[in-house]
Structure 1
Amino acid sequence: MKIHQLDGYIAFAAVARTRSFTAAAAQLGVSPQAVSQAVRALESRLQLRLLNRTTRSVSLNEAGERFMARVGPALGELLDAADAIGELRDTPSGLLRINLSRVAFAAVIQPRLASFRARYPDVRLEFGFDDGFVDIVEQGYDAGIRLGEAIAKDMVSVPLSREERIALVATPVYLAQHGTPRSIADLTQHTCIRFRMPSSGALYRWELLEGGREITLDAPATLTVNDTGAMLALALDGLGLGYVLASAAQPHLAAGRLLEVMPEATPRFPGFHLYYPSRRQPPAKLRCFLEVWRG
């Protein structure tokens, strides 16, 4: 194999992860044409098509799925090797890709981001926002951030925030018009803004407490979103009751834009955790990230 042929493997992996030549090109810092040419050259050498291409989409065929299953981890090992060598330098560097939800970014990352950039200017950060659950290894992320209870057991998990809790919130105007719910039964008479899980497509049932026991509420889905930020925005618009993280609602509660109802009925759970594959030692760029957000 000639050295330049590795370009095809790197380009293919980027397209496989992003499902887009344009997005892959942006990630690699080259033109979409260069990515396309590298992938076509790889397919020509293998004498197999790896991708299904249309004018609107790109997907892996069976050969592409099997090839990516081998190429992805191998490229990960190469990148880990480069990171390990980079640790011999005085300053951590390189691209650090993290997958997380928008609410996690606002609650955990944003408050310390400027401090991190000042301390480690050679580390390039890329945040991929997703309210669902993705395979961070397959998608080429170094780490992910999710609520602690949602992280797979085969991952190394590091807490980044304190315990979280849910808040049921609505605007003063909405409550004045529709009444303030006093019990879980009352909630069925309100517009409960529902959340559809991006990963499974299922409607998330509200987990609540009644008399010390956990119950779930499957309220009528008259208003549904698949983004937690949108749920908070709709609640702020006075369109219904939002089931949101208390930390995300706190600025609006403090300003009086929202009111919390039935706090005794909302559960608590582990806060946000950063997680990464247990088979890898965290590279220097990830260790310095943890240093700032755990400090």
Structure 2
Amino acid sequence: MIKAYRIKFLSPYTTIKSYTIFGAFCWAYRLLYGKDRLENFLKEFSENPKFLISSPFPVIEDIYLFPKPFFELKLSSDIKILEKLKRKPYKNAVYITQKVLEKIIKGEVKNQNDLMKLNVKSGVIYDNDENLSSLNFGKNQIFVHNQINRINNESKNLYFEEGIVPFENQEKYFLVKFIDESFINEFEKILKIVQELGLGGNKNIGWGKVEILEDDKNFSFLGRKETDKFITLSPIIAKNINLKNSYYNFYTFVSYTDGSFEKPKLKGKIDYIEEGSIIKKQDTNQFAGVLKHISNDIYQYGLEFPVYMEW
């Protein structure tokens, strides 16, 4: 069963991924049940996940956006300049609409050239019969922070950090596929605590304040027959992937554990396969990603959220 939830941003925030939400969920779980029970939950989850979670994506005027897939791009060496210019906005696009995603699932759109038969605007590829009037994803802004010496209250140094300033009523949505449907009520109870704690970094200075609401939109079109090829809506820590026959982008993520309740611990470098990557699994009976055990009580979420393709 797939359920959707909306995030309304009430303050500046840092980038939020599926692993951000899962991490916040774990802290809320620990506050509610204690450290020992959380560790038992994570050990069980690493072997038998109760749910899969997507990264948040924009929803604007009830138009739900998804990450643009990493299609194979075949170009001839003698491509003309005008053709290159025509391709640029499609290459730089970040999102697609649900209608475009459904075309991809059915095999009506299979490559970058097929995408170029559709429309593109402000980084979004949309179908020819769709109308996108206003697109606003919030504004990236550089914030200046002043580090204070706690002993003499003098300024030590200034440092800069990038954050996202939401526009009025800005919302994103994320999806949860419940493998164990009996866990839904428990998940939503803990999600209320997540809402109170906030999401992302710098919560100690008021960032990441959110309102999280259940979304009644039907996403059953994502729950079709499972195949060995899918688009992921969540970054993946690769475990069971045929990289040769997949189209993907890697990025390296370095982070600390949340410092709201204890001293932060460095998790180290994690290599992720980005959302929108087209993945072919080696073994269809196993997950492509993993909840990675970093050390002792530290885990990093890296399971896929698959949108299976019918071709």
TM-score, normalised relative to structure 1? 0.23
Point out the structure with the larger strand share. Answer: 2
Tell me which of the two structures has the higher relative contact order, counting C-alpha pairs closer than 8 angstroms and 6 or more residues apart.
Answer: 2
Which structure has greater helix proportion?
A: 1
Task: Say which one has the larger Rg.
Answer: 1
